[in-house]
Amino acid sequence: MQLLKLYQPFFDGQNWLHVVTSGKDWMVILTLVLMECLLSVDNAVVLAAQTQVLPDKEDQRKSLLYGLWGAYLFRFIVIGIGTYLIHLWEIKLAGALYLLYLSIDFFYKQRHPKLKTKKVQRLKNTAPVKKAPRKLFWHTVISIESMDIVFSIDSVLAALAVSSNPVIVLIGGMIGILCMRGVAEVIIKLMAMIPELQPMAYVLIGIIALKLFLALPPMHYEMPNTAFAILVFAILGLTILFHFWRQKHHGKKFL
């Protein structure tokens, strides 16, 4: 019975109608899509690299397609459970500490570049080379699903810290995953042109951690979702302006 209550909002037609017709909710959804894309570029690269062991282009496409549907299913399951857990202050505290760790860890590795690519390299090197074609295909699909699960935990946690409405988080995550898979190359090129976007994403992770901390007792301060969305897009705009200002005056890339 408790399980049904967790997933009831997903099947509430009024909730869906309110979300899809609300400008404020769409602003939050676009914020989640932006964060998903910026935080998942490295993940997209790893997933794409895993498909390269498949000799046939059609198999590569199919493996990513199956992985996409698996990612959607996993998001649905995790968001339902997470929506309940995120209301417990102990979970909020753990989530805030974890997100803060992610932010600090990113900037630490930026200052220690030798550590930065170890995990990605390990993931790229896990794909088997010698297997029967069908076994290789399904092994690749399972590997992609496993990586999706690992990669999506951070995104779901960050998304639930922004909005407690599971429908908003689900729509944002679904669009974000689709964008991440479909325009990964575009995002990679954009981040190559404006490298400040990556550290900006982890600055946002740190801000989300602060948002969770402020929601803990005794403060109980909940930052409005609209205000947070405006803050995100303001930081995005300032980051882009800073990039062009830095290029004009110094001709250097950030970090």
Q: What pLDDT, in 10s, does the model give residues 89-145? A: 787 788 888 888 888 988 888 887 765 555 555 545 554 444 446 777 888 788 777
d(CA 214, CA 198): 25
Interatomic CA distance for residues 63 and 67, integer angstroms: 6
Find, among 199, 255, 203, 195, the residue nearest to 231 by Cα: 203
Q: Which residues contact 100 (CB under 8 A, 6 or more apart)?
A: 206, 209
- Burial code (b: 16+ CB inside 10 Å, e: under 16) for 8-29 equals ebeeeeebeeebeeeeebbbbb
pLDDT of amino acid 191? 73
In this prediction, residue 182 carries a pLDDT of 65
Q: What is the per-residue pLDDT for 129?
A: 44
213 near 95, Cβ under 8 Å? no
**pLDDT value for 16:** 92
3-state secondary structure 29-70: HHHHHHHHHHHCHHHHHHHHHHHCCCCCHHHHHHHHHHHHHH
Rounded to whole angstroms, the Cα distance separating 87 from 104 reads 25
Is the model more confident about 165 or about 250? 165
On the CB side of 100, CA atoms within 13 Å amount to: 11
Answer whether 197's CB lies under 8 Å from 191's CB: yes
- At 165, give phi and psi (nearest 5°): -85, 115
pLDDT per residue as tens digits for the range 134-189: 777 888 788 777 767 666 676 787 888 888 788 888 888 888 777 766 655 566 56
* Domain range list for the chain: 2-249
The amino acid present at 110, given as its one-letter code, is: Q
Token digits for 114? 């030798």
Over 50: is that where the pLDDT of 63 sits?
Answer: yes
**pLDDT over 70 at 217, yes or no:** yes
pLDDT in tens, 179-216: 766 655 566 567 778 888 888 888 888 888 888 888 88
Band of pLDDT at residue 227, cut at 50, 70 and 90: confident
Q: Give phi and psi for 79, each to the nearest 5.
A: -65, -40
Q: Any idea which of 8-22, 63-77, 105-119, 240-254 has the lowest mean pLDDT?
A: 105-119
Q: How far is CA 39 from CA 14, 98, 101, 200, 246, in A?
A: 31, 15, 15, 10, 23
What is the reported pLDDT for 26? 92
Does residue 254 surpass a pLDDT of 50?
no
Q: Which of 228 and 184 is assigned the larger pLDDT? A: 228
